[in-house]
Structure 1
Amino acid sequence: MERTYTLQDVLAALRRRKGTALLIGAIVLVVGLALALLTPAEYTASSTVQIEPRRLPADFFPAQGVTPFEDRMRTLKHGILARPVLERVVKETDFFPDVHGEEAIEKLRQKIEVRLEGEVPGGPPALLFVVEVRGPDAQKVTKAADLLPRYYEEMTRDVLRSQARSLRETLDAQATGMSKDLAAYEDRILAFKLQHAPELPEMVDTNARAAARAQSLIEMHLAAITDARRRKTELLAAIPEAPSVPGMSEAALDLAERKLQAAEAAYSPDHPDVKRARREYDEALARRDDELGRYRKERLQEHLGRIDAEIGSHESVVGDLSKELASYQKRVEAAPRWGQELAALSRDYDVLKAKYVSTVSRRADAAAAEQLLTVDGDRLFRTVEAPVTPNRPSAPDRGRLLMLALLAATAAGLGAAGAAEWLDGSMRGPEDAGALGVPVLAAIPRIGPRRTHGA
């Protein structure tokens, strides 16, 4: 059966194993004291720096826009811990006299901590960060804490200057190319307008009014032609006056016709009176026709000539007006097609012009930003709290180490005593015998002084 220890048993075991406990505890205490006293002191210096918010506008470089806190922290930390910055600090401070090259840079990187303390409200994102440096030399950590933000500032300023200069040069080249393209577009639009000036959409109203005017003139001249033709017809149908020679010949013809009709009614067709009457009728008809032709030729020809000349003049004008009307109608019909082509040219021109204006504006801003970076000098960062040379080490905490050494020695002594007691197989009373399953017949009490180790 398993043995159960009481408090008296535990105290008795400690009395029996106090030598072992003291020895192990003393060894652990000595080692702890040695570590606490011999661990080299480490000093800490820190500088608090604010990035000035009035820098390049946020739309210059998209990376300067609204960036998550973690990304800004990572960018800032990587910038300060960059190899060029650490290399200059190592060289300037001789931080590790016995280590050089990449190993010194890596060791210094492990001794630096960068953390954000907050943001400046309003304006572009601005950071307030702390650079903390640890090391065995108080003067060196102070100098390193002062140099790290300065060197990072120089590197950042150089990068920003290079970006602003590259951006300005790129925008200069783009603006020059766009200016040439704009000039070419303007020449094309001007040539197009000169070539199709009468057929452009803005001339539709003018062409429509001109077509309406030509149409009204055509109708007026057509009415004049109709009137002239009516007068001509009336003139041709006019009967000569009775006292005139044609009128007298017409009367003679009428008389001859009545005589012929009377003779034919009285006699047969072969009768001499009928033949004579017919001969007189034919002579009167010929004379009437001759006199009527002469009358028309002499008296009507002049009027007919004037009327025909008037009709011809009106017809010529109508022809010209019809051609003019067709030209105006053609211009009106062609206006949508030319308007579409002009709109396409103007649309491309407007897009290119908007890009050109934006590029010129950004170029001016980039030039101003480049000049601002040059004028500002070393004011990219502002030191809020400069590093101060520490008077006492920040690590290790020797009081705490001594307390831990004492606790470790006590725990080690108790553990060693317990282990020795556990590994000792001696029986020290009826309880130990009972634990082995052996019946106890009698127990002899202790006689004499107590010994450290009993049987």
Structure 2
Amino acid sequence: MERTYTLQDLLAALRRRRLLALVVAGAVLVVGVALALGVPSEYSATSVVQIEPRRLGLDFFPAQNGTPFEDRMRTIKHGILARPVLERVIRETDFYPDLRDDMDKALEKMRRNVEVRLEGEVPSGAPALLFVVEVHGRDAEKVARAAELLPKYYGELTRQVLEGQARALRETLDGQVEQMGKELAAHEQRLLAFKVEHTAELPELLEDNARAIGRAQSQIEMRLGAIADAQRRRLEVLSSIPESLSGPGLAESTLADAQRRLNAAEAAYGADHPDVKRARRELEESRSQREGAFDKFRSERVQGHLARLDEEVRGHEAQIASLRKEMAGYQKRIDAAPRFGQELANLSRDYEVLRAKYAATISRRADSAAAEQLLAADQPTMFRMVETPIAPRLPSSPDRPKLLWIAVLAAIALGLGAAALAEWLDASMRGPEDAATLGVPVLAAIPRIDRRRAS
């Protein structure tokens, strides 16, 4: 059977093993105190930085405006822990003298010793972001210096990036303005050339062309009337009988007299009579004279008048042909007006779109130039140090009193544990109670003899 220990038994065992407990506790305490006092002191310094709101529009840096705090904080943290910033701080402060030749390890260690966290927004005034940079290290002066330089160099790097973005945007816009200016000038030339070439076919002159056709039609009708009048007068000339006092009229009278004399002579004398023959000769002469007089009359008066009438008719016909050709040209312009109007509308629309883009690009270029000036003006106030770090007088870690208390408690616990273990491993019997664990009855027991009392 197993023996149960009372409090007195435990105290007795502790008295028996007190030397072992004291030795173990003392050794643990010495080691704990040595460790607590030997751990290097680590200092920490913090700087609180306020990001002033930029005076730039959303068009320039849309990704950095209206962004949630978590995303902005992540951007700031990555920027502060970027290699250019950390490497510059490490070299300037000589933060890790033992890692001067191994910058990669120094950067990795520095990232573990730097903490960047969001503090929140400024409660009053324009919206501004607060963040804290906390640096840990073994040199108080270097820690404070690093906590001051990290946001400063990050601000410079951010400003350089923003200035580079604004400069690149302005240069891009300069090229676009130059190219679009050339395109706009070429488009203006094409539009002007089209208007000059197709002025008469444009829809704006549709009514003018229609009125011109109406005027030409009126002139044609007037010319046709003049031709009809000339033809009527020609017929009158051809059907007119010469007057009796004129040359043809006298010749006609002479011919009639000769015909009467011939008829009278033939009736009186017969066909072979000399008077009849003379009358026949006179008749032929009168007929010849009449034909000559008529020919002369026609050539002198009728033919000339007819020629003038024919010339007048030909002139009217030529004018009519010219007017009809002119009408065909006007009609062709009217028929082509919709097509050229659509082409002009397309050219004008493209021109207006290009001109609007050109104006917008010029405006953006002016804004980008203003952005560069604003960034230069905002340089001193883009990042404002709200709380400047100072060199700490006391280390932030380790907590030596706490470590000492832990060492004391560990020494006591291990000392007691060593005594208990030694007592448990000891198989000797010190009284009837120990013998009872063997399962046999105890016949007799020799009491403990106190030597001091016996003497």
TM-score by length of 2: 0.72
Q: Residue 84 of structure 1 aligns with which residue?
A: 84
| Matches of 1:234 and 1:222, distance apart in 2 | 17
- Following TM superposition, by how much is the alpha carbon of 1:73 offset from its aligned partner in structure 2, in angstroms? 2.4
Cα contact 1:39–1:396 (8 A) shared by 2: yes
- Following TM superposition, by how much is the alpha carbon of 1:15 offset from its aligned partner in structure 2, in angstroms? 4.7
- Following TM superposition, by how much is the alpha carbon of 1:345 offset from its aligned partner in structure 2, in angstroms? 3.2
Question: CA 1:71/1:313 → structure 2, altered by over 3 Å: closer, same or farther?
Answer: same
Cα contact 2:40–2:138 (8 A) shared by 1: yes
Q: Residue 441 of structure 2 aligns with which residue?
A: 442
- Following TM superposition, by how much is the alpha carbon of 1:130 offset from its aligned partner in structure 2, in angstroms? 1.0
Confirm whether residue 54 of structure 1 aligns to residue 51 of structure 2. no
Question: CA 1:401/1:212 → structure 2, altered by over 3 Å: closer, same or farther?
Answer: farther
Cα contact 1:164–1:370 (8 A) shared by 2: yes
Aligned 1:18-29 pairs, distance under 5 A: 19=18, 20-29=20-29
Question: CA 1:58/1:236 → structure 2, altered by over 3 Å: closer, same or farther?
Answer: same
Q: Residue 183 of structure 1 aligns with which residue?
A: 185
1:275-314 C-alpha deviation (Å, 9 max, x unpaired): xxxxxxxxxxx9xxx9xx99x9799888877765665454
Q: Residue 40 of structure 2 aligns with which residue?
A: 40
Any idea what SS the aligned residue of 2:41 has?
coil
Q: Residue 133 of structure 2 aligns with which residue?
A: 131
Q: Residue 93 of structure 1 aligns with which residue?
A: 93
Match of 1:16 among 8, 13, 21: 13
Question: CA 1:431/1:74 → structure 2, altered by over 3 Å: closer, same or farther?
Answer: farther
Any idea what SS the aligned residue of 1:139 has?
helix
Cα contact 1:25–1:412 (8 A) shared by 2: yes
1:316-357 C-alpha deviation (Å, 9 max, x unpaired): 333222212211121122223333333343344333323322
Q: Residue 351 of structure 1 aligns with which residue?
A: 353
| Matches of 2:27 and 2:220, distance apart in 1 | 132
Question: Which amino acid letter does the alignment assign opposite residue 54 of structure 1?
Answer: R
Aligned 1:19-418 pairs, distance under 5 A: 19=18, 20-101=20-101, 102=103, 103-119=105-121, 127-219=129-221, 221-222=223-224, 231=232, 235=236, 311-413=313-415, 415-416=417-418
- Following TM superposition, by how much is the alpha carbon of 1:78 offset from its aligned partner in structure 2, in angstroms? 2.4
Question: Which amino acid letter does the alignment assign opposite residue 87 of structure 1?
Answer: E
Question: CA 1:333/1:86 → structure 2, altered by over 3 Å: closer, same or farther?
Answer: same
Q: Residue 266 of structure 2 aligns with which residue?
A: none
Any idea what SS the aligned residue of 1:165 has?
helix
Cα contact 2:115–2:134 (8 A) shared by 1: yes
| Matches of 1:36 and 1:218, distance apart in 2 | 125
Cα contact 1:51–1:382 (8 A) shared by 2: yes
Cα contact 1:59–1:65 (8 A) shared by 2: no
| Matches of 1:343 and 1:444, distance apart in 2 | 132
| Matches of 2:228 and 2:448, distance apart in 1 | 168
Question: CA 1:22/1:200 → structure 2, altered by over 3 Å: closer, same or farther?
Answer: farther
Cα contact 2:238–2:302 (8 A) shared by 1: no
Q: Residue 275 of structure 2 aligns with which residue?
A: none
Question: CA 1:316/1:397 → structure 2, altered by over 3 Å: closer, same or farther?
Answer: same
Segments of 5+ residues of structure 2 without an aligned counterpart are 253-286, 451-455
**19-28 or 140-149, which deviates more:** 19-28
Any idea what SS the aligned residue of 1:57 has?
coil
| Matches of 2:96 and 2:377, distance apart in 1 | 37
1:160-192 C-alpha deviation (Å, 9 max, x unpaired): 233322332232222222222222221222122
Cα contact 1:28–1:412 (8 A) shared by 2: yes
**324-333 or 209-218, which deviates more:** 209-218
| Matches of 1:334 and 1:432, distance apart in 2 | 131
- Following TM superposition, by how much is the alpha carbon of 1:132 offset from its aligned partner in structure 2, in angstroms? 0.8
Question: Which amino acid letter does the alignment assign opposite residue 400 of structure 1?
Answer: K
* Percent of aligned pairs sharing the same letter: 58
| Matches of 1:361 and 1:61, distance apart in 2 | 16
**10-19 or 423-432, which deviates more:** 423-432
1:234-278 C-alpha deviation (Å, 9 max, x unpaired): 95998989x9999xx9xxxxxxxxxxxxxxxxxxxxxxxxxxxxx
Cα contact 2:234–2:309 (8 A) shared by 1: no
- Following TM superposition, by how much is the alpha carbon of 1:94 offset from its aligned partner in structure 2, in angstroms? 2.8
Question: Which amino acid letter does the alignment assign opposite residue 130 of structure 1?
Answer: V
Question: CA 1:135/1:446 → structure 2, altered by over 3 Å: closer, same or farther?
Answer: farther
Question: CA 1:373/1:316 → structure 2, altered by over 3 Å: closer, same or farther?
Answer: same
| Matches of 1:11 and 1:351, distance apart in 2 | 104
Cα contact 2:435–2:442 (8 A) shared by 1: no
Question: Which amino acid letter does the alignment assign opposite residue 43 of structure 1?
Answer: Y
Segments of 5+ residues of structure 1 without an aligned counterpart are 250-285
| Matches of 2:404 and 2:225, distance apart in 1 | 131
Any idea what SS the aligned residue of 1:391 has?
coil
Question: Which amino acid letter does the alignment assign opposite residue 352 of structure 1?
Answer: L
Question: CA 1:339/1:24 → structure 2, altered by over 3 Å: closer, same or farther?
Answer: farther
Question: Which amino acid letter does the alignment assign opposite residue 16 of structure 1?
Answer: A
Cα contact 1:48–1:383 (8 A) shared by 2: yes
Question: Which amino acid letter does the alignment assign opposite residue 38 of structure 2?
Answer: L
Cα contact 2:47–2:148 (8 A) shared by 1: yes
Q: How many residues align?
A: 412
Cα contact 1:66–1:125 (8 A) shared by 2: no
Question: Which amino acid letter does the alignment assign opposite residue 355 of structure 1?
Answer: K
Cα contact 2:432–2:445 (8 A) shared by 1: no
1:9-30 C-alpha deviation (Å, 9 max, x unpaired): 5874575265455544443333
- Following TM superposition, by how much is the alpha carbon of 1:434 offset from its aligned partner in structure 2, in angstroms? 9.4
Any idea what SS the aligned residue of 1:199 has?
coil
Any idea what SS the aligned residue of 2:136 has?
strand
